[in-house]
Amino acid sequence: MKPLGKILRRDLWHLRGQVLAAALVVCCGVTAQVSMHSAYLSLQATQASYYDSYRFADVFASLKRAPEGLADEIRALPGVAQVQTRVVAEVTLDVPGLNEPATGRLVSIPEQQSAMINDFYLRRGRYIEAVHPDEVLLSEVFAQANHLDVGDRIGAILNGRWRELTVVGIALSPEYVYEVGQGMLFPDNKRFGVLWMGREALASAYNMQGAFNDVSLTLAPQGFNKGAEEAEVIASLDRLLLRYGGLSAYPRRDQLSTRFLNDELGEIEVSATYIPAIFLAVAVFLIYIVLSRLVVMQRTQIGLLKAFGYSNFSVGMHYLKFALATVLLGLLPGLLLGLYLGGQVTNLYRDYFHFPVLALVVSPAVLFWATLVNLLAACAGAIAAARRVTALVPAEAMRPEAPANFRAGILERSGVARWMSSSVRMIVRNIVRKPWKALLSVMGIGVAVGLMMVARFMFDAVDHMMMVQFDVVQRDNVTVLFHEPRAAKAVFEIDQLPGVLRAEPFRVVQVRLRHGHRSKQIALTGLASDSELHQIVDSRLRKIALPPDGLLLTKKLGEMLGVATGDTVMLEVLEGNREVREVTVAGLSDEPIGISAYMDAGALARLLREDHLISGAWLRVDPRHEEELYAHLKRMPVVSGVAIRSAMVNSVKEIIDTAFSYVSVIEMLFGAIIIGGMVYNSVRIALSERGNELASLRVLGFTQREVVVLLLGEQALLTICAIPVGLAMGYGMCAALVPIFDRELFRLPLVFSQMTFVYPVIAALISAILSALLVTRRLRHLDLIAVLKTRE
Amino acid sequence: MTHLPPMQPEVHLTDDKKSAEAKLTNPDSVFHVHNVSRIYRMGEVEVHALRDVTVDLLRGEFAVLLGTSGSGKSTLLNILGGLDRPTSGEVFYRDHNLTRADDDGLTRFRREHVGFVFQFYNLIPSLTALENVALVTEIAGHPIDPADALDLVGLGQRRDHFPSQLSGGEQQRVAIARAVAKRPDVLLCDEPTGALDYATGKLVLEVLERVNRELGTITAVITHNAAIAGMADRVIRISSGTITEVLRNEVKIRPSEISW
């Protein structure tokens, strides 16, 4: 081995603690980078191939009812490739072993299996047979959640008639990768599921023979300008479906499951960029400070090597190799850990996103980039430090370094220093002497505190979202939806059910709101102005009175339409006689989930020119009679869907607890490693720089404890400064995330629980204290005698 | 070249245990080193740094421990200062047995009774001259005012300077001021002029002499510079871990008269 190689090996061994700390930070960064990028790629690649292989449609529309012949007209539209018409119906299910009624979406499939748009993957069992109209295929997640399998039976009310459906197969579809019902944010797989049923069987149950109420199509692949073509097809489709009660057609990206999936992909992309970047920056800093110190300690050796004729380059390379070795030490386990964790994250995704196969994609490109970026980081840290090497003149280098330069500064001139004890003065002056290093330390620890805060903030935001949506806005225990609008007196029927304490009717109607060139299809809810079970609130959660006339829109919807209070919008009813009216926006409300529009029930009835029809009811239920109520609701022919708040909330909480805790534990751990690495390295360097000073003090009669205070004081002060800085940075990072999560589906509120501030602070302090203590052990072995003889 | 004042052999202690016993009762004895050996193990080699040394330091004296590099003089100083423990034998400071003290006991001993002056001064770079002195007086029982201590070494004017703004000699004088400011019973100096040029070295020796004269602090200076021996009350010569000779100077010369 060459002499420099030996020196390198010894240096690495000698500084193993600091090398390890820096390597650990690199390891975390690489782990984060590889795992998130791999998970991202896995999800993205799987999505693309799934959509492609199973011919997922490009455009979707639902309508009231159209004759099958219309399909040919749709097929004839320019730009359309394939068309699939279906019958889709939502029904109440009586699932064995489940007390509450569940909601099933029945989707028609041809009696004879053939390749089709929106095809599905049959996991187990067989295809339905035309001779058995009650045979269905069941979505895999719903089956899993309810422990159902091929051969099991499910009760269902199809168009008012009780039917017993037989599960013959378990299937998955690209349409339901994320399987949630309309208006739901998190999946509740126990209570919402998709069932595929023979077209004839389903059509005859709903009097839809020779007709359809759902259409999807694929676009011809030739167009240059796919966006424009798609918009044109959608517009033509809307025109065709207008007469048949068509709701706005929408492109694939607006399809619910796709949107969730794309949103998630967007989120990983953001996290996969900024989290590794933080680690990279910290790693560069750590390598820089370790190397800078090494260069100072080895100035004699550097001088000697240069005197012997080693070039600046070869000596500089020596330190670069040191940095590269440090990074490699973290890189290799980081790559492996990243792949492992990427697999774990992909596993977690399996709970939400359902593909026939979702396996980790091990991409050489991801590994390559992670390696390259981190090696470049090593070079950056090394080059910054190695500049000192080239600056050293051999003769000068071989002389000991002059005593650390301190001069009177602001502290002394202002007289503040006089009021400090000697130890405080030493600590403060050491910080003031190297302000940039201090600043970077503070920023490094701060950003880690921020990272931990972001991890906690996600919990808070979702908690708050749920609280606002389900405690403040939706105050009902159970929501019941009817098949079709019913006379107002239907609510009395519901009111009579066991356990119902209060029943409030509401009317929901699909409308399109237009303002200028912007338009949005939305479910407009008409409710009583004195509603107790549904409250409309402003951003400070104060109740907003429902105006006697005009619309109340949620803020997000207002933004999307570009309207403010007092503006007018065109309201087009997408049902019945399709009234089109100009309506005033009477106010904006604030809800974290979804987008809504409200109107006074009376005003809505006048607008629709109908006599107080209702679409469903919100119920307050006596918990003692819940089960009895559920048993009734399961069998009520008029009911098409039942939403149970507690079940939904619990299901969400379960999801948050499993997925979010996993991620947040890792983020907390990573944050703690950054802090540990920063503090450990800073203290080790302080010990190296000031070991002599501290040993002198021990000789002069200072106790172990007094010397520890001097050593750790500086870092303690920096850590304490870093905490408010970190909390501020964390606040900033969360605030930066809020616009990213400002979506139609949900909006993260910028709210924090106390614990979100407390946890990172505690974790930072514990991590700082533990790593500092690791160094102070070394103080006990300070060589007091050597100090009498050696010169720094 | 060496300018040595006449010396008289006083007593050979190395192999005379009875006289060592007698010394214990010497009313002027402040330190009593009794049959002390110190063996370092360096790998497989045993180094006998001190062999069976017995010696006293007396009240108010200025002692020079003279020896070549590796003679064991530093080891003796370290043991006297409570920085090291003998492998065998005992060390008494007044009626305290330092050999039995634990680390805390030794720290307290150093804190309360010993002033150290290092070859390389070892000032705290982040503290001014005055603050370096105050650092020690803050933890002392009955200290001299730090400013007075700096006046004593002639650096009253430089009190607000940081070590990097002081010359080597000035730094060493600050170190002396720091060492004496807590009114130690003994001032232990390890090659105090070793890193200084001739003139500055003499200036430092003058300060040491003045401190010894004015404050009556026992001063033990270890050096390999035989010329310094002339200013001592007693000269203790060490060679190969044993005390070869203890001389009492009949006439002490002033540091300004020393030359080397």
Return the structure tokens found at B118: 């290092």
Q: How many CB atoms lie within 10 A of CB B211?
A: 23
Is B165 within 8 Å of A407 when comparing Cβ atoms?
yes
- The helix (H) or strand (E) run that includes residue A413 is helix A410-413
DSSP calls for A56-102:
--SEEEEEEEEETTHHHHHHTSTTEEEEEEE-EEEEEEE-TT-SS-E
Is B74 within 8 Å of A407 when comparing Cβ atoms?
no
Phi, psi for A277 (deg, rounded to 5): -60, -40
DSSP A360: -
**Pairs of residues, one from chain A and one from chain B, whose beta carbons lie less than 8 Å apart:** 102
Pairing of strands B62-67, B218-223: parallel
Among chain A residues, the shortest Cα distance to B84 is held by: A785
- How far apart are the C-alpha atoms of A521 and B50, rounded to whole Å? 97
ipTM surpasses cut 0.95: no
A702 touches chain B (CB under 8 A): yes
**In this predicted model, what pLDDT tens digit does every residue of A87-132 receive, in sequence order?**
999 898 999 988 888 999 999 999 998 889 999 999 999 999 989 9
Is A433 within 8 Å of B178 when comparing Cβ atoms?
no
DSSP A550: S
Among chain B residues, the shortest Cα distance to A412 is held by: B160
- How far apart are the C-alpha atoms of A193 and A104, rounded to whole Å? 5
Is B126 within 8 Å of A425 when comparing Cβ atoms?
yes
- How far apart are the C-alpha atoms of A415 and A408, rounded to whole Å? 10
Instruction: Provide the pLDDT confidence category of residue A334 given band limits of 50, 70 and 90.
Output: very high
Closest in B103, B108, B122 to A787, CB measured: B122
- How far apart are the C-alpha atoms of A188 and A192, rounded to whole Å? 6
Query: Going residue by residue through chain B (260 aa), what tens digit of pLDDT does each one get?
Result: 334 444 444 433 333 444 444 445 577 889 999 999 999 887 788 888 999 999 999 999 999 999 988 888 889 999 999 988 899 999 999 888 999 888 889 999 999 999 998 888 888 888 899 999 998 888 888 899 999 999 988 899 999 999 989 988 899 899 999 998 988 999 999 888 888 888 888 888 998 898 899 888 999 999 988 888 889 999 999 999 999 999 998 888 888 888 87
**In this predicted model, what pLDDT tens digit does every residue of A710-744 receive, in sequence order?**
889 888 999 999 999 999 999 999 998 888 888 88
- How far apart are the C-alpha atoms of B163 and A424, rounded to whole Å? 18
List the single best residue of B47, B122, B223 to mutate versus A (max A Cβ within 10 A).
B122
- How far apart are the C-alpha atoms of B231 and B204, rounded to whole Å? 13
> Which ranges in A468-538 belong to alpha helices (H)?
490-495
Instruction: Provide the pLDDT confidence category of residue A754 given band limits of 50, 70 and 90.
Output: very high
Closest in A426, A700, A790 to B126, CB measured: A426
Return the structure tokens found at A773: 């203590």
- How far apart are the C-alpha atoms of A279 and A673, rounded to whole Å? 10
CA A454-A456-A461 angle, to 5 degrees, is 90
List the single best residue of A412, A421, A422, A432 to mutate versus B (max B Cβ within 10 A).
A422
Closest to A356 measured CA to CA, from A53, A36, A562: A53
- How far apart are the C-alpha atoms of B251 and A365, rounded to whole Å? 87
Specify the residue for token string 């996969």.
A272
Total domain count, chain B: 1
Closest in A403, A699, A706 to B116, CB measured: A699
Interface of A with B in 416-455 (CB under 8 A): 421-422, 425-426, 429-430, 433
- How far apart are the C-alpha atoms of A500 and A325, rounded to whole Å? 70
Instruction: Provide the pLDDT confidence category of residue A364 given band limits of 50, 70 and 90.
Output: very high
Is B120 within 8 Å of A790 when comparing Cβ atoms?
yes
Which residues in chain B have their CB less than 8 angstroms from residue A792's CB?
A: 120
pLDDT at B243: 92
Among chain A residues, the shortest Cα distance to B194 is held by: A789
A365 touches chain B (CB under 8 A): no
**In this predicted model, what pLDDT tens digit does every residue of A240-264 receive, in sequence order?**
998 898 888 999 998 989 988 998 8
Q: What is the mean pLDDT of residues A622-647?
A: 88
**Residue B1 is assigned to a structural domain of this protein:** no
pLDDT at A534: 93
- How far apart are the C-alpha atoms of B175 and B179, rounded to whole Å? 6
- Greatest mean pLDDT range, A283-297, A454-468, A493-507: A493-507
Interface of A with B in 391-420 (CB under 8 A): 402-408, 412
Which residues in chain B have their CB less than 8 angstroms from residue A717's CB?
A: none
CA A176-A181-A183 angle, to 5 degrees, is 125
> Which ranges in A510-644 belong to alpha helices (H)?
555-561, 601-608, 626-634
CATH of the domain at B141: 3.40.50.300
- How far apart are the C-alpha atoms of B8 and B23, rounded to whole Å? 19
List the single best residue of A412, A414, A431, A699 to mutate versus B (max B Cβ within 10 A).
A699
Instruction: Provide the pLDDT confidence category of residue A791 given band limits of 50, 70 and 90.
Output: low
A787 touches chain B (CB under 8 A): yes
List the single best residue of B78, B113, B118 to mutate versus A (max A Cβ within 10 A).
B118
Q: Is A169 helix (H, G, I), strand (E, B) or coil?
A: strand
List CB contacts of B28: < 8 A, sequence separation 6 or more.
B58, B59
**In this predicted model, what pLDDT tens digit does every residue of B89-108 receive, in sequence order?**
999 998 889 998 888 899 99
Q: Are A74 and A217 in contact (CB under 8 A)?
A: yes
pLDDT at A388: 76
Minimum distance, in Å, between the CA of residue B9 and any CA atom of chain A = 31
Among chain A residues, the shortest Cα distance to B121 is held by: A788
Is the model more confident about B196 or about A450? A450
What is the residue-averaged pLDDT of chain A?
Answer: 88
Could you give the dihedral angle defined by the CA atoms of residues A525, A527, A532 and A536, in that order, rounded to the nearest 10 degrees? Answer: 50
- How far apart are the C-alpha atoms of A507 and A531, rounded to whole Å? 13
Is A788 within 8 Å of B118 when comparing Cβ atoms?
yes
Give percent above pLDDT 90 in chain A.
45
Pairing of strands B88-93, B62-67: unpaired
Which residues in chain A have their CB less than 8 angstroms from residue B136's CB?
A: 700-701
**In this predicted model, what pLDDT tens digit does every residue of A26-71 receive, in sequence order?**
999 999 999 999 999 999 999 999 999 999 999 999 998 999 999 9
Is A785 within 8 Å of B84 when comparing Cβ atoms?
yes
Q: What is the mean pLDDT of residues A664-681?
A: 87
Minimum distance, in Å, between the CA of residue B135 and any CA atom of chain A = 6
**In this predicted model, what pLDDT tens digit does every residue of A12-31 receive, in sequence order?**
888 888 889 889 989 999 99
**Residue B230 is assigned to a structural domain of this protein:** yes
pLDDT at B18: 42
Minimum distance, in Å, between the CA of residue B164 and any CA atom of chain A = 5
- C-alpha distances out from residue B69 to B196, B202, B238, Å: 17, 21, 10
Which residues in chain A have their CB less than 8 angstroms from residue B164's CB?
A: 402-407
pLDDT at A296: 81
Which residues in chain A have their CB less than 8 angstroms from residue B139's CB?
A: 701-702, 706
Print the domain residue range for B185: 7-257
- How far apart are the C-alpha atoms of A567 and A585, rounded to whole Å? 6
A301 touches chain B (CB under 8 A): no
Provide the b/e sequence for A160-183 (b: ≥16 CB within 10 Å).
eeebebebbbbbbbbbbbbbbbee
DSSP A248: P
Residue A4 has pLDDT above 60, yes or no: yes
Q: What is the mean pLDDT of residues A537-548?
A: 90
pLDDT at B13: 36
Which residues in chain B have their CB less than 8 angstroms from residue A404's CB?
A: 125-126, 164
Minimum distance, in Å, between the CA of residue B116 and any CA atom of chain A = 7
Would you say how long chain B is, in residues?
A: 260
**In this predicted model, what pLDDT tens digit does every residue of A201-212 receive, in sequence order?**
999 999 999 999
A780 touches chain B (CB under 8 A): no
- How far apart are the C-alpha atoms of A715 and B232, rounded to whole Å? 47
**Residue B2 is assigned to a structural domain of this protein:** no
DSSP calls for B10-52:
----TT-HHHHHHHHT-TTEEEEEEEEEEEEEETTEEEEEEEE
pLDDT at A399: 65
Closest in B118, B160, B190 to A408, CB measured: B160
- C-alpha distances out from residue A486 to A482, A508, A616, A700, B9, Å: 8, 11, 8, 93, 126
Per mean pLDDT, which range of A191-205, A410-424, A490-504 is the poorest?
A: A410-424
Is A404 within 8 Å of B125 when comparing Cβ atoms?
yes
**In this predicted model, what pLDDT tens digit does every residue of A212-236 receive, in sequence order?**
999 999 998 765 666 778 889 999 9
Would you say how long chain A is, in residues?
A: 792
Q: Are B177 and B148 in contact (CB under 8 A)?
A: no
- How far apart are the C-alpha atoms of A58 and A219, rounded to whole Å? 6
- How far apart are the C-alpha atoms of B220 and B187, rounded to whole Å? 6
Pairing of strands A597-600, A551-554: antiparallel
List the single best residue of B113, B120, B161 to mutate versus A (max A Cβ within 10 A).
B120
pLDDT at B8: 40
Q: Are A213 and A483 in contact (CB under 8 A)?
A: no
Minimum distance, in Å, between the CA of residue A709 and any CA atom of chain B = 14
Q: Is A526 helix (H, G, I), strand (E, B) or coil?
A: strand
Q: What is the mean pLDDT of residues A447-452?
A: 90
Instruction: Measure CA of the first residue to CA of the last residue in chain B; give whole Å.
Output: 7
CA B136-B169-B127 angle, to 5 degrees, is 35
- How far apart are the C-alpha atoms of B45 and A202, rounded to whole Å? 97
Q: Is A437 helix (H, G, I), strand (E, B) or coil?
A: helix
A1 touches chain B (CB under 8 A): no
Residue A75 has pLDDT above 90, yes or no: yes
Is A704 within 8 Å of B165 when comparing Cβ atoms?
no
**Residue B148 is assigned to a structural domain of this protein:** yes
- How far apart are the C-alpha atoms of A765 and A758, rounded to whole Å? 11
Closest in B103, B108, B118 to A696, CB measured: B118
* Adjacency order of strands within the sheet including B45-58: B45-58, B29-42, B88-93, B96-97
Could you give the dihedral angle defined by the CA atoms of residues A441, A442, A448 and A454, in that order, rounded to the nearest 10 degrees? Answer: -160
Closest to A519 measured CA to CA, from A249, A255, A257: A249
A665 touches chain B (CB under 8 A): no
Among chain B residues, the shortest Cα distance to A790 is held by: B120
- C-alpha distances out from residue B121 to A596, A683, B76, B137, Å: 78, 24, 20, 17
Could you give the dihedral angle defined by the CA atoms of residues B124, B127, B130 and B134, in that order, rounded to the nearest 10 degrees? Answer: -70
Among chain A residues, the shortest Cα distance to B184 is held by: A700
Pairing of strands A121-125, A161-172: antiparallel
- How far apart are the C-alpha atoms of A276 and A272, rounded to whole Å? 7
Minimum distance, in Å, between the CA of residue B159 and any CA atom of chain A = 12
Return the structure tokens found at A648: 């939904």
**In this predicted model, what pLDDT tens digit does every residue of A294-323 receive, in sequence order?**
888 788 888 888 888 888 888 888 888 888
Closest in A406, A703, A788 to B119, CB measured: A788
Is A404 within 8 Å of B164 when comparing Cβ atoms?
yes
**In this predicted model, what pLDDT tens digit does every residue of A371-402 receive, in sequence order?**
999 999 888 888 888 787 777 777 776 666 66
Is B138 within 8 Å of A429 when comparing Cβ atoms?
no
Is the model more confident about A184 or about A287? A287
Which residues in chain B have their CB less than 8 angstroms from residue A420's CB?
A: none
Closest to A46 measured CA to CA, from A344, A360, A260: A360
Could you give the dihedral angle defined by the CA atoms of residues A346, A348, A354 and A357, in that order, rounded to the nearest 10 degrees? Answer: 40
Q: Are A701 and B112 in contact (CB under 8 A)?
A: yes
Q: Are A467 and A445 in contact (CB under 8 A)?
A: no
- The helix (H) or strand (E) run that includes residue B71 is none
Return the structure tokens found at A765: 């302090």
Return the structure tokens found at B29: 């004895």
List CB contacts of A430: < 8 A, sequence separation 6 or more.
A686, A690, A714, B126
**In this predicted model, what pLDDT tens digit does every residue of A683-717 receive, in sequence order?**
888 888 888 888 888 888 888 888 888 889 888 99
Is the model more confident about A782 or about B158? B158
Closest to B117 measured CA to CA, from A694, A692, A700: A700
